[in-house]
Amino acid sequence: MNILWFGPVIKTDKVSVNNQQSPASNLWQMQQINALADLVNKIKVYSYIPLRSYPYGKLFSPVGKEYNPEMQENVCLNQIMYINIKYIREYTLAFKMIFSIILKKDYKENQIALFYNSSLHHRIISRFLRIFTNIKCIEIIADNYDSRSFDAHVYLSFGYYSSSIYDKKYFFDQPAFPMIDQVYDNKILDKKNITYAGALSKYGGITEFAKSFISICETTKEFSDLELTIVGHGTPDPLLVEMSRHKNINFYGFVGMEKLQEILLSSDFFVNPRPMLDENKRNFPSKIITYLQYGKPILSSETEGLSPKYKEVLYFFDPDLNASIKSSLLDLISLKKDDLEIYRQKIISFTKMNNTQKMIKDFNKFLESMVDDKC
């Protein structure tokens, strides 16, 4: 089976060139493509570098081998340059990709086309392929949108999958990656640092959490030396920038992968304070996958995007209630060495049961069934 993959995939140390690409979604695509490449003949990736629209970003998107990540030998990556003007760039991407598909005859040798999120240019390309070829077009939905422009729908969120109206659908439960070496040491016993690594917009919930965190630290003796470290992409709320000057806050903003790993390694706990907003309450918080690799306690809001299995490895709290935040933080700093070891063993077991290889094999079976589907 040969596959076309449409989505922005760039080298991890180049994600910072524009601050528009989610590091988590970029890493997720790279890992799934490389894992899937072990099971199929060939994967061709149609990628581009997302930018803020002109004049805030460049007029023409950059391209070049220096942006290409390291992939399997049977993965071919094709970076597309586009005119970066609002309302024009989506059509530029669509027509340039379609032209390349025709020119290189990619419509002949591929059976499946996978689209990461349903952007306008993806919907245009899918309609073209469905009308003029026999390629089955499948969208992978990480965020809040699905479209009738595709033959099937793959959901990364349990909430979106459960409420989907489509017959041909698949729940791609997020694989857990093995824990990174050297993540478990005595530093965790200091119980002084909780880290947030994710979007700095309102959808990540970090501004409100930081506000509550500061209030709790200033009024509760047990938390006076507890620190909140914040790293992430996007433009931060002015209130968050102001709060970043507080003695209990370490604010980094966007950092490269090497610095991010250094910060996460030195953290004691992690937090996912995603609020229950209508726009994203069912999205899967991909930062959870990153956190799990470090084997340390994770404090998380209980969103609809999480499948029930995550109850095994998360400490749930209500990010809208100070009392819930305070009691949850108290539970974390009260954990004993034996508690931390039990938690670590839970994560090891969880990652073995939900590893990438198992998830991708099941996903590949679904793709094969779509190839055989004559409807």
For domain 186-353, the CATH class is alpha beta
State residue 190's pLDDT score: 52
Per-domain boundaries in the chain: 2-175+355-372, 186-353
Question: If you average pLDDT over residues 258-287, what whole number do you get?
Answer: 86
Most distant CA atoms of the chain, gap in Å: 68
Question: If you average pLDDT over residues 302-326, what whole number do you get?
Answer: 90
What are the distances in angstroms from CA 293 to CA 140, 179, 355? 23, 4, 12
State residue 189's pLDDT score: 47
**Which residues pair with residue 114 across a beta bridge?**
5, 138
| Average pLDDT taken over every residue of the chain | 88
pLDDT above 70 (res 276): yes
- Scored b (16 or more CB within 10 A) or e, 181-212 reads eebbeeebeebebbbbbbbbbbbbbbbbbbeb
Q: List strand residue ranges (DSSP E) for the chain, in order.
A: 2-6, 42-47, 75-79, 112-116, 136-141, 152-155, 169-171, 193-197, 227-231, 249-253, 269-272, 298-301, 315-317
pLDDT above 90 (res 129): yes
**In this predicted structure, which of 14-28, 118-132, 260-274 has the lowest mean pLDDT?**
14-28
pLDDT above 70 (res 375): no
**In this predicted structure, which of 17-31, 244-258, 268-282 has the lowest mean pLDDT?**
17-31
Question: If you average pLDDT over residues 129-142, what whole number do you get?
Answer: 94
**Which residues pair with residue 170 across a beta bridge?**
154
pLDDT above 60 (res 53): yes
Question: If you average pLDDT over residues 349-372, what whole number do you get?
Answer: 89
Say yes or no: do domains 2-175+355-372 and 186-353 share a fold: yes
How does residue 363 score in pLDDT terms, banded at 50, 70 and 90?
very high
pLDDT above 70 (res 63): yes
Q: State how far the Cα of 163 lies from the Cα of 170, in Å rounded to an integer.
A: 12
pLDDT above 90 (res 82): yes
Fold type of domain 2-175+355-372 = Rossmann fold (3.40.50)
- Top pLDDT among 62 and 20 is at 62
How does residue 17 score in pLDDT terms, banded at 50, 70 and 90?
low
pTM of the model: 0.83
State residue 177's pLDDT score: 67
How does residue 21 score in pLDDT terms, banded at 50, 70 and 90?
confident
Question: If you average pLDDT over residues 102-125, what whole number do you get?
Answer: 93
Question: Is the CB of residue 253 less than 8 Å from the CB of residue 232?
Answer: yes
